[in-house]
Amino acid sequence: MSTSEPTASRQPEDRATPDRLLHARTGTDVSPEDLVLASGKDLTPRNLEWAKRKLAAEGPAALEKMLP
């Protein structure tokens, strides 16, 4: 039986994803564009204004709240 992924490299389904893989922060500033895209919205002037207000109120943590 042919598989695209070797059995040895598969993770058991009952294992949790390591924390380092769950967070997107790279130590750089979060832009309004980052926040809009993380929310799944289109880059429109209205959505960018929303992101700017959210970043002003919550800071970079606003992005972490959007991501799993």
Q: Quick one: pLDDT at residue 5?
A: 53
What is the 3-class SS of 28-40, one letter each residue?
Answer: CCCCHHHHHHHCC
% pLDDT > 70, the chain: 60
Q: Please provide the average confidence, as pLDDT, over all residues in the chain.
A: 78
For residue 14, the one-letter residue type is: D
**Token output for 25:** 């922060």
Residues 10-40: pLDDT tens digits? 555 667 766 666 555 556 688 999 999 999 9
Instruction: Report how far residue 41's alpha carbon sits from residue 20's, in angstroms, rounded to the nearest whole number.
Output: 25
Residue 1 has pLDDT above 60, yes or no: no
